[in-house]
């Protein structure tokens, strides 16, 4: 059983592209993991078009991904976009008491802010790196 947990942990870390907080080269890896097509929008923005959503990656002057937004019929897998911040986000999300009929979710951790909202037809969200 411990070996199985170790294999899952290694696979999980391999799947996470960790675009937020890393340099722009991680964006191509994330877009590939999302099975999308990458497009350079400007010097500070890259866009990944998938079948169900569009993910936009915003870079600072140091070429580091500091802001990610998405919109579409579904939401992208957050573990791919959050990377090393996934555990931190899951802990923050678990600490919030679930509320029925609330379509907006804001989870803040020491390093990132994750905002999501949507309904059955449309999802939007963003990840903001704090520092």
45 contact partners, CB below 8 Å, separation of at least 6: 56, 57, 58, 59
Tens of pLDDT, residue by residue over 57-99, are 999 999 999 999 999 999 999 999 998 899 999 998 888 776 6
Token pair for 2: 């411990």
Domain that holds residue 123: 2-129
Structure tokens that stand for 93 in this block: 């999300």
Q: Which residue has the tokens 């803040």?
A: 108
**Per-residue model confidence (pLDDT) at position 4:** 35
Q: Which helix (H) or strand (E) holds 92?
A: helix 86-95
Name the domain count of the chain. Answer: 1
Q: Provide the greatest CA pair distance for the chain.
A: 48
């Amino acid at each position: 059983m411990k070996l199985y947990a170790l294999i899952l942990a290694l696979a999980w870390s391999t799947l996470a592209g960790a675009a937020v907080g890393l340099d722009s080269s991680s964006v191509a890896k994330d877009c590939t993991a999302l099975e999308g097509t990458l497009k350079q929008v400007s010097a500070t923005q890259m866009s990944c078009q998938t079948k169900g959503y569009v993910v936009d990656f915003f870079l600072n002057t140091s070429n580091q991904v500091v802001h990610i937004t998405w919109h579409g019929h579904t939401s992208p897998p957050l573990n791919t976009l959050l990377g090393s911040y996934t555990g931190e986000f899951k802990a923050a999300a678990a600490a919030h008491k679930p509320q029925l009929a609330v379509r907006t979710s804001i989870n803040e951790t020491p390093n990132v802010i994750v905002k999501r909202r949507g309904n059955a037809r449309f999802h939007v969200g963003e990840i903001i790196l704090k520092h």
